[in-house]
Structure formats: structure tokens, C-alpha cells
Structure 1
Amino acid sequence: MSTLDEAGRREYYRIDDSVALEINPLSGADQASQDAMQDTSTLFDLLSELHVSEFESQHLMRQLDERDRVLNSFLKSLSKRIDLLGEVVAHTALGKLGAPQPVKLSEGGIQFNSQQGFAVGEQLSIKMVLMPQAAGLMLRARVSQCDARADGGFDISTDFVNLPDAQRQLLARHVLQRQAQHRRQALEQGQPSGN
């Protein structure tokens, strides 16, 4: 994947990551309609809603921890059970999406390899499962760059379109966690983190 020059740099942190992806082009009619983003897989839809809901309730859990630690501990226990059920759903969804693949990810977009080329400006439906928490996201993206590779595949760069704030924050949190993990690993190996 090529490095972006100064003029093309994004305003978001980018990380090398591994995610499960399903990419589908949106037709002209689909682009105007939110219905195209509704997945026929109920499991994936539930997984996506589960992680957004969990993210949105975190601030309430922090407030509750200050007021009632016993209740907060109980709710954390229930949350852990729900997370385990979410992992079961995620593994089922992963079976449909395939194995995780290397990508460059930010809260603004994703860069990935594809055997199919897409036109610059084309809109895509992206189903993505973030690892290791198995957070499922259904997103729209617009192709910003498509470069042919020597092996016949393509390097595709996209920008997310109409990303809800909760999903953007979920992506930002994931990027920061992965960045911190990369730094820890680099320090353990005695290498500079590169970020």
C-alpha cells in the first residue's frame, strides 16, 4: 500500500490492522437509499448494534461507578456475559465475511487490497469486523484512490461517508487502542514505535 504524500495526508491517525471485510459496490439507487445498508444477515446487524450500544453506555457506567459500586459491578458482570454472546455472533459473522485481511484504518477511511477494481468516486457498502473485540460495523465509503498492483489486484483507498458519530468514536477508540498496543510491542522489542 502506498504512502500518502503531504498534500494527501488524512487528518486522522492511521494504523496497520487486520479486519474481516465484505465490500460491495452501491448502485446509483442504493446510494440515495439507506435501505441498501440494511444487511440481510440479522446476526451481523445485531453485532453492529451491540457494539455501538455498548460504546454509548460506557459513560453511564463510569458515572454509576462513582455512586454505587455494587450495582456497577453487577452490571459489568452482565455486560461481560453479553460480550461473550457477542463473540459467538461475531464468529458466526466472520464465517460469512472470511478471514481477516491486512488494512490501513482510520476513523476517516480504510485502505485495503482487492481483486476487484473500483472507480474513483464510486460508493461502497463495507461490512467490517474489528479484531480482537469482534466489533461489527456496516459503513458506506467513497473510493478515493484505486491503484493496480503487479499481481493483478488493486490497492483501494476509501473515505467513510455519513458515518454516525457513535461509529466514528468506536473506530477512533479502536485505532487508539491498536496504536497503544503497537507501541507497547515495539518497546518490548526495543524498537521505535514509528508513530
Structure 2
Amino acid sequence: MVDERRSYFRVDDMAWVLTAQWNPDQASAVEYFPELRQTTILHALDAVDVELKKLDKAMDSKPTAMYARTLNQKIDIFRQALLIQQLSQLDSRPIRITISEGGLGFMSDFAYTVGSHIAMALVFSPSYMAIFPQAEILECRPVDNGFYLHVAFVDMPESMRQQLARHLLVQQTLLRQQHK
């Protein structure tokens, strides 16, 4: 497992991180976080976003393509506004995480058993991109003010993996620009 984790590029990032013990009877990680229940709307908006991007590439007319891009931006703003509203109602703030396509490391108020599975809600700051992966606990060690968790993503749907990969690519590009 360690070799797999090391095959991904890791970045430091900021995100709201919510966790819950995995229950095999709950099919989707989204179900674990009722405080973020509007995210089902966000996932529907993401699906529309993907369709608009496909249509944008197929459009011959520049004005029509610009209209589709503008509509897509409007959907993105609406999606972010919904998430901002939901996150403001939580009693938490974004935390520093180290993340890759394979998993992440972060500070938690809760201890979990190594080998157990958790549902996660990750909302990145400041992009407000949200994913809801299932993860396996690889490490849980006590530290000042909580626990350091190291987790590996499990059974991540391809669409979620691609969304995360795009986010990490943007973060890598920003990091390179900052170092120049």
C-alpha cells in the first residue's frame, strides 16, 4: 500500500474535512453528511457542467459557444454560493491537508481504528470543489489537540477521481508559479 501512495504527486492544500464511520448499508458517502444535503444539487449541476463543456467543443458559432461558457460560469457561481451557505452553518473551518489521488493526511478530532473505513466530505478552499470519497484508515496517531489521520481512498468513482486530478493539477500549477 505504501508504494501505491508514493506513486501519486502530493500537494498541500486547504479543505473542510468531515468524516464518519463507514456503514456498508449506506451506499453513498453523501448520505453521511446531512448538513451538506444540498450537495446532491451540486452534483446535478456538475453533470450539467460536463454536458455544457462537451457542447462547447462541438459548437460552430462563436456567439453560441460564448453563451454556453457564460452559462457554465453562472452554474459555477451558483454551485459555489450553495456550498458557501452550507459551510457557513458548520462549526468548522478549512484545515491544512496533504492530498494526492491516492489519499490524504490531516488532523482530526476523532480517532479511528487502522484498517477501518470512513466516509468523507472534502470541500476545498477557496475553490469550493467538493468530493465525497470512501477511505481506509492507514494511520491514526495521537498528536497535540487531536489525531493525525492518514487515509487511502477506496472505490473512488472515475468521475470523482478525474475531478480530484484536475484540482490537484491546478494546485500544482499554482505551486510552480509561486516558486518562480
Place the TM-score, normalised by the shorter chain, in its bin: 0.7 to 0.9
Q: Provide the residue aligned with 1:83 in structure 2.
A: 76
Structure 2 CA distance, aligned partners of 1:16 and 1:92?
25
Amino acid across the alignment from 2:176? R
- Unmatched 5+ stretches in structure 2: none
Q: Provide the residue aligned with 1:157 in structure 2.
A: 150
Question: How many residues are aligned here?
Answer: 176
Contact 1:15 1:104 in 2 (8 A): yes
Shift of 1:59: 5.0
Q: Displaced runs of 4+ in structure 1, greater than 6 A?
A: none
Q: Provide the residue aligned with 1:116 in structure 2.
A: 110
Q: Provide the residue aligned with 1:184 in structure 2.
A: 177
SS at match of 1:174: helix
Shift of 1:8: 7.0
Q: Provide the residue aligned with 2:131 in structure 1.
A: 137
Structure 2 CA distance, aligned partners of 1:36 and 1:79?
26
SS at match of 1:74: helix
What pairs with 1:1-195 in structure 2 (closer than 5 Å)? 7=3, 9-26=5-22, 30-34=23-27, 37-38=30-31, 39-40=33-34, 41-51=36-46, 53-54=48-49, 56-57=50-51, 60-65=54-59, 67-97=60-90, 98-149=92-143, 151-187=144-180
Aligned-residue RMSD, C-alpha:
2.2
- Unmatched 5+ stretches in structure 1: 1-5, 188-195
Contact 2:5 2:102 in 1 (8 A): no
SS at match of 1:163: coil
Structure 1 CA distance, aligned partners of 2:125 and 2:46?
12
SS at match of 2:7: coil
Shift of 1:36: 5.9
Cα deviation code 1:52-92 (max 9, x no counterpart): 552x3365145225x23221110111111111111110101
Percent of aligned pairs sharing the same letter: 24
Aligned CA distance change for structure 1 residues 155 and 95 (closer, same or farther; 3 Å)? same
Cα deviation code 1:99-132 (max 9, x no counterpart): 1110011111121101221111111111111222
TM-score when normalising by structure 1: 0.80
Shift of 1:152: 4.6
SS at match of 1:31: coil
TM-score when normalising by structure 2: 0.86
Amino acid across the alignment from 2:132? M
SS at match of 1:22: strand
